[in-house]
Structure 1
Amino acid sequence: MKKVLYRHLFSKVLGLSLLFFSTSFYAQEEAVVSEVVAEDANASGGDVAKGKQLFNQNCAACHALNRKMTGPALANVESRLLEDEGLDKEWLYAWIKNSPGMIKSGDAYANKIYAEYNQAAMTAFPTLSNADIDDILAYTAAPPPAPVTAVAVASEGGETGSGSGISNEIILGALALVFGLLVIMLILVNNTLRRIAEANGVVLEKEKVEKRTPIWKAFAQNQFLVLVSVIFLLLASAYFAYGWMMQVGVDQGYAPVQPIHYSHKIHAGDNKIECKYCHSSARVSKHSGIPALNVCMNCHKSIYEYKGNPEGPSAEDLANGYTNEFYTGEIKKLYKAVGWDEENQKYTGESQPVEWVRIHNLPDFAYFNHSQHVSVGGIECQTCHGPVEEMEVMYQFAPLTMGWCINCHRETEVKVEDNAYYAAIHEELSKKYGVDNLTVAMMGGLECGKCHY
């Protein structure tokens, strides 16, 4: 049967036409969107990109575009004030640059906003020029960005499903099938050869199996081997029993699940929050303390959702379920615990205790003072707690055993710079014993009473 050429020609022409039409339509749509954005920017007389930067620097702590926070939502604020309240841009200039002055002057709408938002006056921004405010208004009037389509992330060393290569599962399946066929063929050939030999009168002799002494019986009859084996088993049992008993009370690697997931990787790593901002009592107290939830709310009154790392989540985070939605859900748990009304931006008074699971726990007979190590000794938190800034789930990094502490006292040099107390001790030890590097052990850090009082 001959090929019908005109059908193939018609298909090609139709495909090219559809491709050209979709491309031109997409280009026209992009042009329309760009024209709309340009019209919005021109209407506000500002630069949207620059306005976004200024908004994040000055406004984002108290305002969102489409959501009420400490202050009102600012999406299309200029047009809303113009249409609903009859105000103009000059009023906005005056309000942003000097809101307390507007309130004191008796302006009706300024006092209305002041009363509605708990009589908390907006911070004045006298350094912002009219052009800067125009840029911010242009950003608030711009349409929201299109949602980003999620991209499938392949695991390290893997390939996406759209690749043209053959997957490893198919190759392994084919090899297993070939191997199975070879085994079946060998069995069939063996049976066929046996039938041919029997038909020709060939008698196949069976192999003579010599009767041997069982290995267990031979082992039991060898008294020297039995004695050596018993001694070896006793020593091995004692070694493993000693190792097991030495691990009693050692919880290195312990990583319990907390009622509210807290990522040290995001807070201490990505956002560079200092450890002692939350654990402030470590400077002045024996204990580092569990931060109160109002410390969390210092930031999370304004940070109500997690927008993710600009580089996107890693394959490991996606595999463990650490998505933007997951972290936002944990923030909602915090709001529920402190009794925060997200919609009205105020506390309801209906709080719930959070039962945190303790991770680091020394025995009661061991004395450890955080302030002595942190404030006096200048020891970094990571020395004992490990790379906290990399931990998604907090775990016990060090064994916290007596031997581990003693080794630290023996090896760690005391920082004598700008410390008159330690400098004086170092000077006396240098005169009497010729000590160059002062350690904790040299100052009595190995005495029993230092830790066991």
Structure 2
Amino acid sequence: MKKVLYRHLFSKVLGLTLLLFSTSFYAQEEAEAATDVATEETADAAGGDPAKGKQLFNQNCAACHALERKMTGPALVNVEARLAEDEGLDKEWIYAWIKNSPAVISSGDAYANKIYAEYNQAAMTPFPTLSNQDIDDILAYTAAPPPAPAAATAATSAGGDTTGSSSGISNEMILGALALVFALLVIMLILVNKTLRRIAEANGVVLEQEKEKRLPLWKAFVQNQFLVLVSVVFLLLASAYFAYGWMMQVGIDQGYAPVQPIHFSHKIHAGDNNVDCKYCHSSARVSKTSGIPSLNVCMNCHKSIYEYAGNPEGPSAEDLANGYTNEFYTGEIKKLYKAVGWDEENQSYTGDSQPVEWVRIHQLPDFAYFNHSQHVSVAGVECQTCHGPVEEMEIVEQFAPLTMGWCINCHRETNVKVKGNAYYEAIHEELSKKYGVEELTAAMMGGLECGKCHY
């Protein structure tokens, strides 16, 4: 029997694959160890831990300060070195300023009063709970800020995963080796198949038998009159059903999710940051309509939040696929600044504002009356009852059909909250006797009367 050369080739490729796996794993461990050593050396050189300093900076300083730009307070990149070089101030002065800035100002310190006058005579909030080591960590972070995450973002966008970015070449080699092994297996199967066919033909084995001739399927269907009649009746009924369903959807915009001129992520605001719906839509508590919040409401937060730092857990694969990166959200904040006329550099309004043409999503017919305050303030209905889980929506869409039948079903199934409401308590006893129930629904209290909604 002849020796099959591809067996030896397969063994060699398998060995090469294992070697590549072990080499890439060792290289990755070496890279991680080098990174850890570099981080420790940076922390020792700066006299603090930049990683801890970043956390403390975000918790205590980020609301008013940024590293590279002026905000409510001055930029803090290399602040320790700049104060020592320009003003001759040591670290003890920084300790005193951070822990109790009003006291430093009151002492008559020249530089403290200069900063106080430059920033609208607003003293910095004291942080007496921060220890000297905490301040050292913050200064270490400002002295050696981490590099911009552009490379990491690019790697994530390209591959969907940032793990193993330092060993990308090794991964490509491994994938190539696996592809080669798979190709060899396919070739082996093809050769084995041909060999078995030759052996079968040599021994007179018939591999395929001639199929019996039979009537084509469509001819058999046409010749069966009963089957044709049943099929025609079924198609007519199905067509009528789908035509009725299509006509009943006219004027219903459930699932409508238009693109807005400025992208607003309810998932980030109402979900990740737990912003109450009625903070922006405040008129929903006292008015018929929920109202569109003015851009000044947005600026209450975005005077200080000028860029999107991202979710601590990192962007999801779905967000990356849709282009929802940190840079995208930061660009939308810039659109807000342009519309409201906000000068980032001088932290002031220019007066050159532009209207934002928001696209309306929920639209009831003109002949239907709906009062938000009656449902939100009186009935205590949650926003999600009608608008769905907006805290999970990146782009808001119409969640409910908002049809007459949908509203009537809600009135029939929703119990009225009578506790603490003198108006409802006065008539609750009589209506309970009339209907013989303990809980009253909106329908029992006139919620199905035509004039309630069609005035």
TM-score, structure 1 normalization = 0.74
Give per-residue Cα distances to partners, 1:69-94, cap 9 Å, x unaligned. Answer: 11101122222122212334454345
Distance in 2 (alpha carbons) for counterparts of 1:315 and 1:130: 40
User: What residue number does 1:339 align with?
Assistant: 341
Structure-2 change in CA distance of 1:171 and 1:134 (3 Å): closer
How far off is 1:114 after superposition?
A: 3.3
Any stretches of 5+ residues in structure 2 without a counterpart?
Answer: 1-22, 162-167, 198-211
The answer as to whether partners of 1:78 and 1:89 remain within 8 angstroms in 2 is yes
The answer as to whether partners of 1:262 and 1:393 remain within 8 angstroms in 2 is yes
**Quick check: 1:124 aligned with 2:125?**
yes
Distance in 1 (alpha carbons) for counterparts of 2:228 and 2:43: 90
SS in 2 for 1:244: helix
The answer as to whether partners of 1:62 and 1:302 remain within 8 angstroms in 2 is yes
User: What residue number does 1:58 align with?
Assistant: 60
Give the fraction of aligned pairs with identical amino acids, expressed as a percent.
71
User: What residue number does 1:190 align with?
Assistant: none
How far off is 1:296 after superposition?
A: 1.1
SS in 2 for 1:444: helix
The answer as to whether partners of 2:255 and 2:399 remain within 8 angstroms in 1 is yes
The answer as to whether partners of 2:221 and 2:228 remain within 8 angstroms in 1 is no
Equivalent runs, 1:288-299 vs 2, <5 Å: 288-299=290-301
What is the one-letter code of the residue matched to 1:87? Answer: L
Question: Which structure is larger by alpha-carbon Rg, 1 or 2?
Answer: 1
User: What residue number does 1:423 align with?
Assistant: 425
What is the one-letter code of the residue matched to 2:319? Answer: D
The answer as to whether partners of 2:95 and 2:132 remain within 8 angstroms in 1 is no
Distance in 1 (alpha carbons) for counterparts of 2:221 and 2:30: 82
Distance in 1 (alpha carbons) for counterparts of 2:38 and 2:359: 56
User: What residue number does 2:325 align with?
Assistant: 323
Structure-2 change in CA distance of 1:123 and 1:417 (3 Å): farther
Structure-2 change in CA distance of 1:425 and 1:343 (3 Å): same
User: What residue number does 1:354 align with?
Assistant: 356
User: What residue number does 1:80 align with?
Assistant: 82
What is the one-letter code of the residue matched to 2:346? Answer: N
**Quick check: 1:250 aligned with 2:247?**
no
How far off is 1:399 after superposition?
A: 0.2
Structure-2 change in CA distance of 1:346 and 1:209 (3 Å): closer
Deviates more, 1:402-411 or 1:323-332: 323-332
Give per-residue Cα distances to partners, 1:90-147, cap 9 Å, x unaligned. Answer: 5434543454565566544334323433x15034316345626634653454412255
How far off is 1:50 after superposition?
A: 4.8
What is the one-letter code of the residue matched to 2:264? Answer: Y
How far off is 1:368 after superposition?
A: 0.5
TM-score, structure 2 normalization = 0.74
Any stretches of 5+ residues in structure 1 without a counterpart?
Answer: 1-15, 187-206
Distance in 1 (alpha carbons) for counterparts of 2:227 and 2:221: 12
The answer as to whether partners of 1:77 and 1:137 remain within 8 angstroms in 2 is no
**Quick check: 1:440 aligned with 2:436?**
no
Distance in 1 (alpha carbons) for counterparts of 2:39 and 2:160: 33
How far off is 1:215 after superposition?
A: 9.3
Match of 1:300 among 299, 302, 307: 302
Distance in 2 (alpha carbons) for counterparts of 1:451 and 1:97: 60
SS in 1 for 2:47: helix
Structure-2 change in CA distance of 1:87 and 1:33 (3 Å): same
Distance in 1 (alpha carbons) for counterparts of 2:36 and 2:335: 41
User: What residue number does 1:144 align with?
Assistant: 145
Distance in 2 (alpha carbons) for counterparts of 1:417 and 1:57: 42
Give per-residue Cα distances to partners, 1:8-55, cap 9 Å, x unaligned. Answer: xxxxxxxx9xx99x969975x86565334213116xxxx655544433
Distance in 2 (alpha carbons) for counterparts of 1:249 and 1:133: 61
Distance in 1 (alpha carbons) for counterparts of 2:69 and 2:143: 16
Structure-2 change in CA distance of 1:245 and 1:107 (3 Å): same
User: What residue number does 1:8 align with?
Assistant: none
The answer as to whether partners of 1:99 and 1:123 remain within 8 angstroms in 2 is yes
Match of 2:44 among 33, 38, 54: 38
User: What residue number does 2:287 align with?
Assistant: 285
The answer as to whether partners of 1:282 and 1:370 remain within 8 angstroms in 2 is yes
The answer as to whether partners of 1:388 and 1:394 remain within 8 angstroms in 2 is yes
SS in 1 for 2:452: helix
| RMSD of equivalent CA atoms | 4.3
User: What residue number does 1:402 align with?
Assistant: 404
User: What residue number does 1:92 align with?
Assistant: 94
How far off is 1:389 after superposition?
A: 1.0
What is the one-letter code of the residue matched to 2:41? Answer: E
SS in 2 for 1:392: coil
Give per-residue Cα distances to partners, 1:352-387, cap 9 Å, x unaligned. Answer: 111111000000110011111111111111111111
User: What residue number does 1:413 align with?
Assistant: 415
How far off is 1:217 after superposition?
A: 9.5
Give per-residue Cα distances to partners, 1:187-238, cap 9 Å, x unaligned. Answer: xxxxxxxxxxxxxxxxxxxx9999xx9899989xx8x999988876665554
SS in 2 for 1:382: helix
How far off is 1:312 after superposition?
A: 1.5
The answer as to whether partners of 2:411 and 2:441 remain within 8 angstroms in 1 is yes
